[in-house]
A and B are shown apart, each in its own frame.
Chain A
Amino acid sequence: MSLPNGSAGVAAPPVATPGATNTHQRPIQEVDAITIRFAGDSGDGMQVVGTQFTNTSALVGNDIATFPDFPAEIRAPAGTLAGVSGFQVHFSSQAIHTPGDVLNALVVMNPAALKTNLRDLEAGGFLIVNTDGFDKSDLTKAKYTSDPLEDGSLAGYRVIRVAITKLNIEAVKDCGLTPREQDRCKNFFALGLVYWMYERPLEPTLKWIQSKFAKNPAVMEANIRTLKAGYNYGETVELMPVQYRVSKAKIAPGTYCKITGNDAIALGLVAAALQAGRTMVYAGYPITPASSVLEKLAEMRRFGIKTFQAEDEIAAAGVAIGASFGGAIGVTGTSGPGICLKSEAIGLAVMTELPLVIVNVQRGGPSTGLPTKTEQADLLQVMFGRNGESPAAVIAPMSPTDCFTMAMEAVCIATRFMCPVFLLSDGYLANGSEPWNITEASKLPTIDIRYATESNMGDWGGAAHKLSTATDSEGGGAGKFLPYRRDDMLARPWAVPGTPGLEHRIGGIEKQDVTGNINYEPSNHEHMVRTRAKKIENIALTIPDLEVRGPEDAELLVIGWGGTYGSITTAVDRAHRKGLKVAQAHLRYLNPMPKNTAEVLGRFKKILVPELNAGQLLMLLRAKYLVPAEGLNKIQGKPFLISEIEAAIEQRLK
């Protein structure tokens, strides 16, 4: 989109009477998309108003994508740079895949929010400033030496000055709230103002306020009044010379809701358990940004899901594996530091060949790193971060809604192949949201999970497998079940404790194939290492091929994985509009990769691998397929801008 350049610094008019109506008509300008960010102190309620703005935009028919950006500190000292919380909404009349590169409008409640967010506002963009938040001490806390509202540093933007704090107090003063409670309503004044700017209806938010504060009529009334006051204020004082209109998007028919990646993972796991008709145990230890999966599941008891908050990350993995041993679908969820701690237990699941789903919502690392920021730097960790030859399946959703599909897929693979499956999400997918076509999503595949119910000794030759150390003659009723006798995919049977006649023992020590008896023989170990690896490779026989999008004669392939899908897709779309010969593929299955991957990579002269790490998929592709792929790498805790990928594509096709 492009906006007309206006002169900077729209002066704040005198306080108008809230609620007054104005019928002046502004010229209307149609635009494809708007990106707006609400930024304030972490106690200012920016996440709430951002969410409300998103919901309303979805209801009026726009395509939407959101991204919250909040500090690791829960309540850093008010007004400081560390305490700034933001919520970005991208809404459009076209299909969109990202929360937007640059901001067309920025709402700031204080100087700290201005300082930390201004760099993302486009030149000439709208800057809505709560002038009441800019007194001397606020400026000092944000480490401003001069007042940016006065010193001319905002000259490149269209500044809209609004005394939000005072106007809000004026609107809510008769509601019977304490001064502190009154002040806390000001986010809804700001929201009302922005609703007016972009022609959004108030009704959805009014409805939400009524239900949210049903038990507190004074707060309900105050929030309603200030929301309306904000709207009316915009209209009365004609804050903007034009009204921007973002029409309805052409979206596939169906019923939609908005969903974040973490919620989608939770729902996908539950859907898998219900479709399989099996118990699910989800064990987790609180960790950013994965905790909300555990929280979401904890409120879903009526679906029969058992959640367990463990004493630590290791225990969470142990509980999940123990549950799998017991015949449940064992799932544990965490972020990178938690994977470090769980590694030994995951190795045991590899060795004992038990199903296990490990959700890793990646964040910036190493160590504690950037807990609330996104990164894709755990790929090699989950591929190789265990002792010994310890292969596990790795899959990665590419969007918030794909988290649902891939969570189900993780359960299918884990239970079909009796192996651990990593579901690699990231902070960007976890907290970002997009519309979810629930009409489509509700068409679920069936999941068939089979337990062993009877002896599998039947046609077993036996003698060749007899173990020198076993003393069968001593056994009493032993040996009716062969826990490592494999099927055509090399998966072993799952015999659940409680099943008569199938009593057996498993463990982390190397074992003889078929019998599962402890075995240290050199050739057996190599056989077992290769068998476990082959079993994981066999997963490729059951997953979809890698799809390629783009012209037949494309010279360049852009291949990514995980949450970068939206940025890559939009960048490739733009390149196509410019006539560039570029193709796109996105790996949702990373171990094993789809069986046509080598063929796809071989088709292109150039391969570009954008990743939010120092080049991890790049290393795998080069090592495995011997292709001259190049990386595009960003390690800033932030998603790719579309323009960054677009520029990299153009550079390679010059």
Chain B
Amino acid sequence: MSATPLPTLTTKELTSDQEVRWCPGCGDYSILAQMRKALTTVGLPREKLAFISGIGCSSRFPYYMNTYGFHTIHGRAPTFATGLKLANPDLQVWVVTGDGDGLSIGGNHTLHVLRRNVDVKVLLFNNEIYGLTKGQYSPTSRTGTKTKTSPTGSIETPVHALAFAVAAEATFVARTIDVDVQHMVATLQRAAAHKGAAFVEIYQNCKIFNDGVFDYATDKSVKADNILYLEHGKPMVFGKDRNKGIRLMGLQPEVVEIGKDCGLDDILVHDENSPDPTLANMLARFTVPKFPEVVGVLRAVKKPTYNEVTDGLIAAAVEKNRGTVADLFKADDIWTVE
């Protein structure tokens, strides 16, 4: 059998005729560029790709992709994506959402699309602020964040997006950063290849209303000490001098200095395939300054997708005894009037 070459695309082919209207310097520009780049080699033609979004700055994304796209209503993108995938299981469906859209008004749907393992890829652009409504605190804003609706600082505890995804039984959970372009392309391609619900949090800078909130994770002078790049099967080492690591003491993780506190063998090794979500949950909650914040794939496990299971049940029922129009008029208790 001769192998048919998979289709490849150019970034230009993936670019729609619409003018991109994000603010200058917005992290979304980078995400859009990396997404186009990532899709050039996923092996699908444009017509098999669909981008579904809710409301917010991030949700303008579908207009800029020359694929099928649907800009829906606030928080509900996962539901439209689920319906689209039910109707049309061959599509690769991406949900583009933000911290307000996906974790506040749409938190319920994010939970359930992940729990069901619907075969969609959820990208959560996290800028820790409401941008499109001009600067109110979001469910991921850090306690104390001063905004127009929290003039003396937010009094709320933020949600950890990745811990939420892990708790929702997502089968693929990852994080990347808007300015880390190569890492983002690789992460998006991993998500594209995953069968089932994939959840990717992207740290995204809002130049206008929350500028610099991720500087600790992007500024070259401090980044290495604040970010831990996860690699499957590799010890969790980070730091400018690659001499810091994560060690587990009982159930508690701690940051240690390799060579001083312990050897490399004592450093926790990443296992993204662990069926147990404990490790992924622990990593998801790492927060600077106590711990480095993780980027990369926290969790990637295999599980039948919602679409495989439901389509399988229908196919089996149809094969066993296909229902026809005539069957609609068969009842247990019928009578005839002459």
Contact = CB atoms under 8 A, between A and B. Distances in A.
Interface in A74-117: none
Given A267-B328, A271-B325, A497-B50, A319 B337 contact: no
A283 B313 CA distance: 17
B17 A471 contact: yes
Given A256-B335, A320-B83, A476-B14, A314 B76 contact: yes
A72 interface: no
Contact of A476 (B10, B70, B84, B314): B10
A507 B317 contact: no
A444 interface: yes
B83 A302 contact: no
Interface stretch (A304-312, A357-365, A637-645): A304-312
Contact of A314 (B79, B111, B334): B79
Contacts of A286: none
Rank and list the top 4 A-B pairs by shortest CB-CB distance, nearest first.
A322-B83, A318-B79, A507-B71, A326-B87
A140 interface: no
Interface of A: 55, 58-59, 61, 204, 251-259, 267, 270-271, 274-275, 279, 281, 283, 300-306, 308, 310-312, 314-328, 330, 344-345, 347-348, 352, 438, 441-442, 444, 469-472, 474-479, 496-509, 517-518
Contacts of B320: 302
B91 interface: yes
A441 B329 contact: yes
B68 A503 contact: yes
Interface string B49-71: 01010000000001101111111
Contacts of B52: 322
Given A302-B317, A476-B66, A505-B68, 6 more contacts: A281-B87, A283-B83, A321-B83, A323-B83, A474-B17, A505-B16
A507 B63 contact: yes
Interface stretch (B40-48, B149-157, B179-187, B199-207): B40-48
B318 interface: yes
A478 B321 CA distance: 44
Q: Please indicate which of the listed interface residues B62, B71, B112, B324 has the most CB atoms of chain A within 10 Å of its own CB.
A: B71
Contact of A270 (B10, B318, B328): B328
Contacts of B50: 497
B335 to A, nearest CB: 5
B248 interface: no
B70 A322 contact: yes
A470 B19 contact: yes
Contact of B62 (A59, A300, A438, A507): A507
Contact of B15 (A442, A474, A499): A474
Contacts, number: 244
A301 B318 contact: yes
Contact of B112 (A304, A311, A441, A470): A311
Contacts of B72: 318, 321, 348, 507-508
B256 interface: no
B16 A497 contact: no
B84 A444 contact: no
Contacts of A442: 325-326, 328-329
Nearest to B83: A322
B333 A58 contact: yes
B84 A323 contact: yes
B18 interface: yes
B330 to A, nearest CB: 9
A470 B17 contact: yes
A496 B89 CA distance: 12
Contact of A318 (B15, B83, B313, B326): B83
A499 B47 contact: yes
A383 B266 CA distance: 67
Contact of B82 (A322, A478, A499, A517): A322
A275 B336 contact: no
Contacts of A328: 83, 86-88
Contact of A302 (B71, B87, B111, B323): B323
B265 interface: no
B87 A256 contact: no
A306 B67 CA distance: 26
B88 A496 contact: yes
B91 A497 contact: yes
Contact of A253 (B12, B17, B81, B338): B338
B80 interface: yes
A61 B337 CA distance: 7
A76 B72 CA distance: 43
A304 B76 contact: no
A275 B326 CA distance: 11
B108 interface: yes
B84 A517 contact: no
Contacts of A326: 83-88, 91
Given A496-B88, A503-B68, A322 B19 contact: no
A301 B13 CA distance: 40
Contacts of B338: 253
Contacts of B333: 55, 58-59, 204, 257-258
A315 B76 contact: yes
B108 A498 contact: no
Given A254-B337, A274-B324, A508-B73, A325 B66 contact: no
Contact of A275 (B76, B314, B325): B325
Contact of B318 (A302, A444, A501): A302
Contacts of B80: 318-319, 321-322, 325
B335 A306 contact: no
A319 B72 CA distance: 12
A478 B68 contact: no
A270 to B, nearest CB: 6
Contacts of B329: 255, 257, 438, 441-442
Contacts of A270: 323, 328
B66 A345 contact: no
B310 interface: yes
A505 B15 contact: no
A478 B16 contact: yes
B47 A498 contact: yes
Contacts of A279: 87
Contact of B87 (A275, A322, A518): A322
A279 B328 CA distance: 17
A344 to B, nearest CB: 5
Contacts of A255: 329, 334-337
B335 A58 contact: yes
B322 interface: yes
B232 interface: no
B22 to A, nearest CB: 14
B90 interface: yes
A618 B109 CA distance: 40
Contact of A319 (B71, B79, B313): B79
Given A306-B86, A322-B81, A345-B76, A254 B318 contact: no
B87 A475 contact: no
Nearest to B46: A503
A505 B62 contact: yes
A61 B338 CA distance: 10
Interface string B293-335: 0000000000000000010011001101111111111010111
30 contacts: A61-B337, A252-B337, A253-B337, A256-B336, A274-B328, A302-B321, A302-B323, A303-B328, A304-B318, A306-B86, A314-B76, A315-B76, A315-B78, A315-B108, A318-B79, A318-B83, A322-B70, A323-B87, A328-B86, A345-B73, A444-B325, A475-B15, A476-B13, A476-B15, A477-B46, A497-B88, A498-B47, A498-B90, A499-B47, A506-B71
A503 B313 contact: no
Contacts of A58: 333, 335
Contact of A315 (B14, B47, B79, B327): B79
A311 B71 CA distance: 21
Nearest to A271: B328
A474 B16 CA distance: 8
A195 B152 CA distance: 77
